[in-house]
């Protein structure tokens, strides 16, 4: 392949029998023209010419990577060669505001090293599976799940603690040690596992474990904790089953009932759960049941294995059914007494204690997806031309970008401050619950603005499932989901204020 070509040389290849095009590099499209999705004449009309500007207004970078075999050389004045789309995905972005700043006292070398290792792993080991499963709404492959487990990611996604020593091969091969792992390390893990931007696939792969397994870690008996190695390897999965058609945010109203049998040996569980992430794939269900009177005092938590008495049916939601979101039916499922977490009637406290970490994790992922979406929008505004000028030259576009930048940076600062408090005082400290609720509320409100701005800037591509607008369309379609699960926006706002009232000093006066 010639290393450099002149525009004059390319111009000589301007017929249907010999057609070259310039898209920074030079491509021979003579044979490809008849296969072009937009029709061969679309290409042949521009044979011998530079179509770079038109191409970048229509296609993502990975399109060119598919046709590297057609490359003849590079135009001498085209500047440095573009890295492949996969290489860029694996690298730290140079686009302003595309990365959460690591230049802060919160992040040490181990955090930076973990991010680099995680980014390379997700992009090289899982990206293709993620894109395919998200598009087809198919089950994440067991092979990939086990890769994720072997890398220690499923264990790390549960947060800091002794359980990290159960990771099969260390944490990303020893990039970070279990004893030094903190919530900022987990923040990095949660952010990078979202980088493929396939929310359904991500949740179906391991997100169910991140909200179900912490209950086993914190409240499980020894035999329950013996299940952790298999879960961390990716051999088995576990989900959290609390929400019902009868009880969403009002957890104390749940109706799924567990009644002790005549021998006093087993509970018989009957009822339904709804919107259970990963339920279709789960081997174990961390389930909230009613064992006593009405209200929170009558609720218990049980670890229930999949059996013939448990049926899971997929619920189609706004994002891909690859998430395995399930309607779960318990029909006289037999559950031994030893499967109760703690003691009967203590379930409500367990549920509430588990929420803080879940809500923090939701905020981390939402902020990161909003950041990826904003990077897409910024790139588009810099390369798309309308009315003879780049989009970014329009003041109204710069205003929308500024709103997104400001929202991201302010909420990220809030996230880092809350995470620092979690490191110092733990996720269950008295002061952190209200702040996490406020963080989640502020995050989902920020996502609303970012999503709205993104679609307006992307136009028709922002509502198109594939191609240029894939990430923007996906974000716009799914950003509302986290504003409901883990506690709705209204509940979060109210909780934050109620916590502030609770800690208001009695002597304070104007």
Q: What CATH number did the domain enclosing 14 receive?
A: 3.10.120.10
Residues 259 and 332 in one domain: yes
Residue at a domain's end among 186, 218, 233 = 233
Cβ within 8 Å of residue 508, ≥6 positions away: none
Going by DSSP bridges, is the β-strand pair 284-290/238-241 parallel, antiparallel, or unpaired? parallel
Total number of domains in the chain: 4
| Domain assignment present for 255 | yes
| Domain assignment present for 212 | yes
Residue at a domain's end among 182, 210, 233 = 233
Q: Are 342 and 227 in contact (CB under 8 A)?
A: no
Residues 338 and 321 in one domain: yes
Mean pLDDT (whole number) for 273-301: 95
Question: Residue 406 sits in a domain of what CATH number?
Answer: 1.20.140.10
Closest among 75, 69, 84, 60 to 31, alpha carbons compared: 69
Residues 496 and 358 in one domain: yes
Residue at a domain's end among 186, 208, 233 = 233
Question: Residue 317 sits in a domain of what CATH number?
Answer: 2.40.110.10
Task: Give the ranges where 171-314 is alpha helix by DSSP (H).
Answer: 183-192, 199-202, 208-219, 222-225, 228-233
Question: Residue 178 sits in a domain of what CATH number?
Answer: 1.10.540
The whole-angstrom separation of Cα 460 and Cα 456 is 9
pLDDT at position 2 is: 52
Angle between helices 432-458 and 489-502 in degrees, nearest 10: 150
| Domain assignment present for 274 | yes
- Strands, DSSP E only, in 377-468? 385-386, 389-390
Residues 195 and 263 in one domain: no
Q: Are 239 and 276 in contact (CB under 8 A)?
A: yes
pLDDT in tens, 7-32: 999 999 999 999 999 998 999 999 99
Residues 152 and 214 in one domain: yes
| Domain assignment present for 466 | yes
pTM over 0.85: yes
Tokens representing 89 are 């995905």
Residues 224 and 178 in one domain: yes
pLDDT at position 259 is: 96
Domain that holds residue 253: 238-345
More confident residue, 36 or 85: 36
Residues 301 and 396 in one domain: no
Tokens representing 464 are 């198109």
pLDDT in tens, 467-498: 889 999 999 999 999 999 888 999 999 999 99
Residues 120 and 219 in one domain: yes
Cβ within 8 Å of residue 276, ≥6 positions away: 208, 239, 240, 241, 243, 282, 285, 312, 325, 326, 327, 328
Residues 321 and 391 in one domain: no
Local structure of residue 329 (DSSP, 8 states): E
| Domain assignment present for 470 | yes
pLDDT at position 1 is: 45
| Domain assignment present for 161 | yes
| Domain assignment present for 392 | yes
Residues 213 and 246 in one domain: no
Residues 332 and 202 in one domain: no
Residues 277 and 407 in one domain: no
Cα dihedral 402, 408, 411, 416 sign: negative
């Amino acid at each position: 392949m010639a290393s450099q070509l002149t525009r004059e040389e390319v111009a000589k290849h301007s017929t249907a029998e010999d057609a070259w095009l310039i898209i920074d590099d030079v491509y021979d499209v003579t044979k490809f023209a008849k296969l072009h999705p937009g029709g061969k004449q679309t290409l042949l009309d521009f044979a011998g010419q530079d179509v770079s500007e038109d191409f970048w207004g229509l296609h993502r970078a990975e399109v060119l990577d598919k046709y590297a075999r057609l490359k003849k050389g590079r135009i001498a004045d085209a500047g440095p060669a573009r890295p492949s789309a996969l290489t860029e995905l694996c690298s730290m972005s140079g686009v302003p505001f595309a990365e959460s700043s690591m230049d802060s006292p919160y992040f040490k070398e181990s955090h930076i090293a973990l991010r680099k290792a995680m980014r390379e792993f997700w992009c090289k080991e899982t990206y293709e599976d993620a894109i395919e499963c998200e598009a087809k709404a198919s089950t994440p492959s067991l092979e990939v799940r086990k890769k994720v487990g072997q890398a220690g990611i499923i264990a790390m996604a549960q947060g800091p603690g002794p359980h990290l020593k159960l990771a099969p091969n260390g944490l990303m091969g020893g990039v970070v040690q279990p004893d030094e792992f903190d919530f900022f390390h987990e923040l990095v893990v949660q952010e990078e596992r979202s980088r493929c931007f396939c929310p359904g696939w991500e949740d179906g792969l391991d997100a169910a474990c991140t909200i179900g397994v912490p209950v086993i870690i914190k409240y499980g008996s020894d035999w329950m904790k013996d299940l952790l190695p298999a879960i961390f390897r990716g051999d088995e999965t576990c989900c959290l089953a609390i929400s019902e058609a009868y009880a969403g945010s009002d957890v104390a109203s749940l109706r799924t009932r567990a009644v002790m049998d005549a021998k006093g040996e087993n509970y018989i569980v009957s009822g339904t759960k709804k919107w259970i992430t990963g339920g279709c794939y789960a081997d174990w269900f961390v389930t909230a049941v009613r064992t006593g009177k009405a209200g929170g005092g009558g609720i218990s938590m049980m670890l229930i294995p999949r059996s013939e008495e448990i049926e899971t049916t997929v619920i189609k939601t706004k994002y891909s059914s690859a998430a395995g979101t399930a309607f779960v039916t318990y029909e006289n499922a037999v559950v031994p007494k030893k499967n109760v977490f703690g003691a009967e009637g203590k379930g409500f406290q367990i549920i509430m204690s588990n929420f803080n970490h879940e809500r923090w994790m939701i905020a981390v992922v939402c902020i990161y997806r909003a950041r990826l979406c904003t990077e897409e929008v910024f790139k588009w505004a810099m390369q798309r031309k309308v009315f003879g000028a780049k989009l970014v030259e329009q003041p109204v576009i710069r205003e929308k970008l500024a709103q997104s930048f400001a929202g991201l940076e302010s909420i990220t600062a809030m996230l880092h401050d809350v995470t620092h408090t979690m490191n110092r005082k733990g996720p269950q400290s008295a002061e952190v619950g209200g702040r996490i609720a406020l963080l989640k509320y502020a995050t989902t409100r920020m996502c609303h603005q970012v999503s709205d701005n993104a679609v307006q800037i992307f136009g028709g591509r922002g509502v198109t499932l594939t191609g240029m607008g894939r990430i923007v369309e996906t974000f716009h379609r799914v950003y509302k989901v986290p504003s409901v699960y883990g506690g709705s926006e209204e509940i979060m706002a109210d909780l934050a204020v109620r916590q502030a009232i609770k800690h208001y000093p009695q002597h304070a006066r104007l």
